């Protein structure tokens, strides 16, 4: 699952936020890409590693008028 800067997302247990930036950080000799997420509630920021998006449950924010995703 990939997101773009400016997209609204849901971060479980913390609420709705906006992807503000996508960055790369180094940890020793390894590099990891992160989403910088600004949560609407209290304007808190969270960095979510690309490799853990599924683990933390980050998903798109659905609007009432969005059609439900079709499963095939």
Q: What is the CATH number of the domain that holds 33?
A: 2.40.10.170
Q: Is position 39 within any domain?
A: yes
- The answer to the question of residue 50 being in a domain is yes
Question: Is position 25 within any domain?
Answer: yes
The tally of domains found in the chain comes to: 1
pLDDT average per 10 residues of sequence, the chain (72 residues):
90 90 92 93 88 88 58 47
pTM for the model: 0.75
Is there a domain that residue 16 lies in?
yes
Domain that holds residue 48: 8-60
In whole angstroms, what is the distance from residue 29 CA to residue 9 CA? 30
What are the CA-CA distances from residue 23 to residues 38, 43, 53 (Å)? Answer: 14, 19, 14
Residue at 21 is within a domain: yes
SS3 call for 4: coil
């Amino acid at each position: 699952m990939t997101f773009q800067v400016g997209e609204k997302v849901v971060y479980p247990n913390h609420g709705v936020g906006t992807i503000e930036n996508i960055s790369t950080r180094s940890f020793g000799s390894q590099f990891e890409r992160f989403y910088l997420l600004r949560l609407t509630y209290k304007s808190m920021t969270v960095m979510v590693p690309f490799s853990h998006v599924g683990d933390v449950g980050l998903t798109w924010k659905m609007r009432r008028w969005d059609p439900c995703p079709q499963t095939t």
